[in-house]
Structure 1
Amino acid sequence: MNLHAIQAFVLSHQLGSISAAATKMKKNRAQLSQWISNLEIDWNVELFTRSGHKPVLSEQGLKMLPLCEQLLNANQQLIKQVEHVAEQDCLRLNIGISAYLQNATVAELLSQFNQRHPNIDLHLYQRRDEQLLNWQEKPQLDLILSFYRDAYPHKFNLEHLCDMPLVAVCATNHPLANTSTPTLQQILSHTWITILAANDISLWDPDSIPRKIEVEQHELAIQLCLRGCGVFVGEQKQLAPYLKTGQLKIVDHKDAITTERLGLIYQKHWAASPALNSLIDLCKAHFS
């Protein structure tokens, strides 16, 4: 099937003449006329009526026109995707990972991926969620695994993975550990150990805390919390061993247990490679 002939047919209708279509395609009129005639022979249809000076679609031509337009649009999309695949380094994936996720969780996912795709280089960028959701750095990220809260960039696709329980905890030797139903003012008067620069949970808003210790990794935050340095909000699953042994205690407040939404974020209209699709499937399986 000659795509140039199909384009000639569509353009002749859109532009009102075969001559105009020929100019648009930078071909001579006779060439386009022959292409259209060949289409009619191949398809056993009459695309244009032969009366008058301008091409007028026949009944059969009216039926074929939308099909041909869809085919040409699909061909253009294919060309763009092929160009994208050719330009990108297919042996490398750039992945943004929320610094709020446990390293053990990330390591488990990536070890499974490495078993499936040992030849793919992975470049991980562990950042705070708001940095990932407003990524301006180079290179461009292929996939973001992040807590997205109430908003995310609308030029991206979002696939919700799970709601993850979070708890506010302190060490057993911390003053709040022995305070029954403390007030908000009492809670916020203590030092807080924080990871994220932004938080939409009003009770645990870092801007309302007089003193805080900011760290990049949860492991250090937990160690500081265990030593009584302050209150920390972390993933319930991650803190469960310390809660079970009594080393940490959940703050006695109705809002000390909450949830965050974890999702996969990637660009719209992007042809994902088999390796990237594999990683997406692993994330869905793990967090479902």
Structure 2
Amino acid sequence: MNLQAIQAFVLSHQLGSISAAAKKMQKNRAQLSQWISNLEIDWNVELFTRSGHKPVLSEQGLKMLPLCEQLLSAKQHLNEQVEQIANLDCLRLNLGVSAYLQDSAIAKVLSQFNQAYPQVDLHIYQRRDEQLLNWQQQPSLDLAVCFYRDAFPSQFTVEPLCEMPVVAVCSRTHQLASATSTTLQQVLSHTWITVLSSTNTELWDPDTVQRQIAVEHHSLAIELCLRGVGVFVGQQQQLNPYIETGELVVLAHNDAIANEQLGLIYSKQTTVSPAQQALINLCKAEFRNKPH
């Protein structure tokens, strides 16, 4: 099947003449006219009526037109996918995500990326920020979306996205919930619920915390906090629904609510692939300068 002939048929109708279609395709008019005639012979149909100076679709041509347009659209989509695959440096991306980020925001970014790059495998590692910033295990991360402090490894490029408030909370049944004011030492004397980190990673939690319960999943940490097990520090937007209902209470301390800087982290030593750049751009569109 001659796809150029099908394009000539569609363009002749859209542009109003075979001459205009020939100019668009950078071919001569006689060649397009022959291509269209060959289609009519091959398909045993009449695409245009032969009366008048302008091509007018016949009844058969009217039925064939949408089918031909769909075929050309599918060809264009195929070409775009082939070009993407040819330009990819890899068919897998390893993304590190702060365990304190909301799943819904990350899922939005990943679903958009999946639509644009369905052939790229994604491996998502949800970890504490310290672990992502000091990632030493295999596989290496292509990109991380996490909170960072003043110091971070020099081999990383860090692109700031936005500030997000984090808040220290406890259950309404917890001993600290009824306190009108607290000192740091009083807060640290209680059990803290944290997200598990690797054993070789330096943690941001104060050394003077007397007891920790470390879990792998953010949702379990919140559930333990709701049951009065201990103090938890998390993203304010994610905890607000529980704070508004009174299930969780913000600690009565000046530093109970603080802003943390969220950023994109990736290695300076590797060339950014088109797929990786697309993921970076989607993260920027979702998080940069937006309240979360």
Matching residue's letter, 1:150: D
Match of 1:239 in 2: 239
Q: Which runs of 5+ in 1 are unaligned?
A: 1-84
Task: Output the aligned Cα RMSD.
Answer: 2.2
Quote the residue 2:123 is aligned against: 123
1:182-193 equivalences under 5 Å are 182-193=182-193
187-196 or 275-284: bigger deviation: 187-196
Query: For 1:208, what is the secondary structure of its paired residue?
Result: coil
User: What is the DSSP-based 3-state SS (H/G/I as helix, E as strand, rest coil) of the residue aligned with 1:229?
Assistant: coil
Structure 1 distance, partners of 2:167, 2:261, is 14
- How much has 1:269 moved relative to structure 2? 5.4
Alpha-carbon distance, 1:190 to partner: 1.4
Matches within 5 A, 1:91-170: 91-170=91-170
Q: Which residue number in structure 1 is paired with residue 80 of structure 2? A: none
SS of residue matched to 2:276? helix
Identity, % of aligned positions = 61
In structure 2, C-alpha distance between the alignment counterparts of 1:130 and 1:172, rounded to whole Å: 30
Please show how residues 35-114 of structure 1 align to structure 2 within 5 Å. 90-114=90-114
1:171 equivalent in alignment to 2:171: yes
**1:193-208 paired onto structure 2 within 5 Å:** 193-195=193-195, 198-200=202-204, 205-208=205-208
8 Å Cα contact 1:129-1:196 kept in structure 2: no
Tell me the secondary structure at the aligned position of residue 244 of structure 1.
helix
On the 8 A contact 2:94/2:141 being kept in 1, the answer is yes
CA 1:158 to 1:164, structure 2 compared with 1: closer, same or farther past 3 Å? same
Q: Aligned partner of 1:216: which letter?
A: E
CA distance in 2, matches of 1:139, 1:172: 42
Cα pair 2:130 2:203 within 8 Å, conserved: no
Per-residue deviation, residues 121-150 of structure 1 (Å, max 9, x unmatched): 111222222222222222222111122212
AA aligned opposite 1:240: N
Post-superposition Cα deviations, 1:42-76, rounded to whole Å, max 9, x if no partner, equal xxxxxxxxxxxxxxxxxxxxxxxxxxxxxxxxxxx
Structure 1, residues 97-138: CA drift from partner, whole Å, max 9, x if none?
222323232222211211222111111222222222222222
Q: Amino acid of the residue matched to residue 212 of structure 2?
A: K
Q: Is the 8 A contact 2:92 2:123 kept in 1?
A: yes
Equivalence for 1:252:
252
Q: Which residue identity lines up with residue 143 of structure 1 in the other structure?
A: L
**Counterpart Cα distance in 2 of 1:194 and 1:140:** 24
The question of whether the paired residues in 2 share the 8 Å contact of 1:100 and 1:196 is answered with: no
Deviations 1:130-180 (A, max 9, x none): 222222222222111122212112122110111111000011111111111
> TM-score, with normalisation over the residues of structure 2?
0.63
- Once residues 127 and 249 of structure 1 are traced to their aligned partners in structure 2, the CA distance between those partners, rounded to angstroms, is 25
Question: How far did residue 236 of structure 1 move?
Answer: 0.3
Q: Which runs of 5+ in 2 are unaligned?
A: 1-84
Distance in 2 between the 1:141 and 1:189 partners?
A: 36
**How far, CA to CA, are the matches of 1:140 and 1:183 in structure 2?**
41
